[in-house]
């Protein structure tokens, strides 16, 4: 079909020579091939670069210094030539019909600029069922997405123009950079949901960012604070943001009070959070 949607696949990778083949192979084995596959090697120091070279010319490779996943995704998307962007984390895997179903979804929902598929969770080699709190929403998802990230990068598809209008991933955020971007998009866009799984989402390995950073809510607070500084935020959304921020602050500060300050930097962080809570009322 000449007018069929075209997709650019962006895969950021850092020191995952043992996993990256599974991710790339799952894209190459799609029943509906993408227009291009862009892999951004974020300064890997293991054998990742050698593994990637074995896939030429099927993939484009961008070598960068290590700046984090947000910068790697931004770099890849800037290079992309297609109207539609698809992301795939280097430790995840697409099902063979992921892009074929994406074409069908776009054709059936021409008004939507972003959507995601359901996913199959694999933890420590075993399939597990997501909890109710992880249930993926559809439609206007801003308020429901405040508590935690409900959009999976490996499952999402969006128009490059929407990404550019929203400002891309915040490269200063070590984690929760996806939570931050989806919130900014969700203020003005409805999100679609393909009810069938499109990915295997793997977890439980030691090098996951979520395993390295235990205070994820600190980064989510930072993302939400951006919206409070925006005078164009509608009042209903502003109330929802304030309410969720106060809830997270109380939990975090109560826990910190029980364990005590660890060092001066820790105390400065707590002072900032206490001040933030006071300003929220």
CB 164 within 8 A of CB 59: no
On whether both 204 and 249 belong to a single domain, the answer is: no
Write down the residue that tokens 């900014």 correspond to.
Answer: 184
Angle between helix 177-186 and helix 216-228 axes, rounded to 10 deg:
30
- Return d(Cα 210, Cα 63) in angstroms, integer: 24
CATH of the domain at 63: 3.90.550.10
Q: Look at residue 213 in the predicted model and tell me its pLDDT.
A: 42
Provide the CA 244 distance to its chain's centre, in angstroms.
Answer: 20
On whether both 193 and 146 belong to a single domain, the answer is: yes
CB 179 within 8 A of CB 139: no
* Pairing assessment for the beta strands 93-94 and 192-203 based on DSSP bridges: antiparallel
On whether both 97 and 232 belong to a single domain, the answer is: no
103, 154, 192, 193 from 108: Cα distances, Å: 9, 21, 11, 12
Asked which of 172, 197, 212 is the last residue of a domain, the reply is 212
263 Cβ contact partners less than 8 Å away, ≥ 6 residues apart? none
- Return d(Cα 260, Cα 92) in angstroms, integer: 38
Q: With a cut of 70, list the residues of the chain below it in pLDDT.
A: 1-2, 204-215, 255-273, 277, 281
Backbone angles phi, psi at 56, to 5 degrees: -70, 145
Residue 197 in domain: yes
What's the structural domain count of the chain? 2
Residue 87's closest CA among 164, 133, 43, 34? 34
CB 154 within 8 A of CB 199: yes
Residue 1 in domain: no
Q: Look at residue 216 in the predicted model and tell me its pLDDT.
A: 83
Alpha helices in 5-59 (DSSP H): 20-28, 48-53
Residue 155 in domain: yes
In this prediction the pTM is 0.89
State both tokens at 46: 């293991």
* Pairing assessment for the beta strands 114-123 and 192-203 based on DSSP bridges: parallel
Q: Which domain range does residue 236 map to? A: 216-280
Handedness of CA 237, 171, 122, 34 (dihedral sign): positive
On whether both 229 and 259 belong to a single domain, the answer is: yes
């Amino acid at each position: 079909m000449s007018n069929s949607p075209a997709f650019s696949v962006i895969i950021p990778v850092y020191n995952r020579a043992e996993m990256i083949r599974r991710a790339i192979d799952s894209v190459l084995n799609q029943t509906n091939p993408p227009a291009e596959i862009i892999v951004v090697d974020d300064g890997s120091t293991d054998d990742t670069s050698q593994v990637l070279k074995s896939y030429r010319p099927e993939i484009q490779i961008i070598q960068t210094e290590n700046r984090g996943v947000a910068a790697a995704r931004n770099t890849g998307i800037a290079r992309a030539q297609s109207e539609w962007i698809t992301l795939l984390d280097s430790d995840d895997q697409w099902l063979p019909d992921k892009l074929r179903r994406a074409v069908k979804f776009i054709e059936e929902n021409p008004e939507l600029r972003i959507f995601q598929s359901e996913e199959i969770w694999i933890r420590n080699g075993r399939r597990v069922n997501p909890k109710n709190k992880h249930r993926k929403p559809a439609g206007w998802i801003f308020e429901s997405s405040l508590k935690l990230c409900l959009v999976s990068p490996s499952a999402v598809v969006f128009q490059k123009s929407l990404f550019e209008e929203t400002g891309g991933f915040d490269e200063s955020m070590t984690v929760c950079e996806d939570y931050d971007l989806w919130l900014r998009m969700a203020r003005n866009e409805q999100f679609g949901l393909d009810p069938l799984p499109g990915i295997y989402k793997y977890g439980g390995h030691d090098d996951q960012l979520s395993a390295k950073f235990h205070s994820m809510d600190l980064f989510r607070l930072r993302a939400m604070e951006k919206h409070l500084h925006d005078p164009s935020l509608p009042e209903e959304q502003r109330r929802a943001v304030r309410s969720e921020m106060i809830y997270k602050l109380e939990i975090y500060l109560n826990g910190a009070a029980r364990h005590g300050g660890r060092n001066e930097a820790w105390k400065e962080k707590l002072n900032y959070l206490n001040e933030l809570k006071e300003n929220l009322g």
